[in-house]
C-alpha cells in the first residue's frame, strides 16, 4: 500500500473516531443541558463562545468542534458533576488521539493530527 493510501486511511479512521466522540458528547450535553441558555446567556452568565470566529448570531456554532463540545465552565461542572465526569472520560480518549484544540474545526484537527503536530491548547489546558 502506498504512503498516500495509508495516510488517507488513517485520516478516515480518525474522522470516524472524532465523529463518534463528538456525538457522544452531544448526547451527554443534551441529557444534562449544563449550559441552560436563556435569551443567549448561559446559567453561568458567561459565554464560552464569545468572539469565536465560528459563531453565527442567527445559527449558533457553524462547525463541529470536539473541544468545544467537551468543555464545561467551573459553575457548570459544580452544578452537573455527573455530566462533567462523563465528558472528562471523553476528554481522556480525545487526548490520546490528539483531537483537542482550542476552537479548531474538525478539518483543522485532522490536518494537524495527520501532520503529526500537537495543539498548543492541548498541552496547556487539558
Phi-psi region at 37: left, alpha or beta (left = phi > 0; alpha = psi -120 to 50): beta
Q: How far apart, in Å, are the Cα atoms of 42 and each of 6, 81, 90?
A: 43, 17, 23
Q: How confident is the model at residue 102 (pLDDT cuts 50, 70, 90)?
A: confident
Q: Which of 23, 38, 18, 21 is nearest to 109 (CA)?
A: 18
Helix (H, G, I), strand (E, B) or coil at 35: coil
Residue-level pLDDT at 95:
93
* 3-class secondary-structure state, position 93: helix
pLDDT above 90 for 106: yes
Tell me what pLDDT residue 56 has: 80
The per-residue pLDDT for range 52-93, each reduced to its tens digit, is 888 887 777 888 999 999 999 899 999 999 999 999 999 999
Contact indicator for 92, 69 with CB cutoff of 8 Å: no
Residue 118 is predicted with a pLDDT of 81
What are the boundaries of each domain within the chain? 3-125
d(CA 17, CA 42): 29
Q: Quick one: pLDDT at residue 4?
A: 58
pLDDT in tens, 13-65: 999 999 999 999 999 999 999 987 666 667 776 677 778 888 887 777 888 99
The model's pTM is: 0.84
Amino acid at each position: 500500500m502506498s504512503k498516500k493510501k495509508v495516510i488517507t486511511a488513517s485520516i478516515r479512521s480518525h474522522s470516524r473516531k472524532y465523529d463518534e466522540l463528538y456525538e457522544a458528547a452531544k448526547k451527554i450535553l443534551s441529557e444534562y443541558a449544563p449550559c441552560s441558555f436563556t435569551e443567549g446567556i448561559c446559567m453561568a452568565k458567561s459565554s464560552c463562545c464569545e468572539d469565536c470566529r465560528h459563531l453565527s448570531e442567527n445559527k449558533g456554532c457553524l462547525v463541529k468542534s470536539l473541544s468545544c463540545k467537551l468543555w464545561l465552565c467551573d459553575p457548570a461542572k459544580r452544578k452537573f458533576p455527573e455530566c462533567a465526569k462523563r465528558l472528562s472520560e471523553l476528554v481522556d480518549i480525545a487526548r490520546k488521539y490528539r483531537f483537542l484544540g482550542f476552537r479548531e474545526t474538525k478539518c483543522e484537527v485532522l490536518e494537524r493530527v495527520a501532520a503529526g503536530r500537537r495543539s498548543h491548547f492541548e498541552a496547556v489546558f487539558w
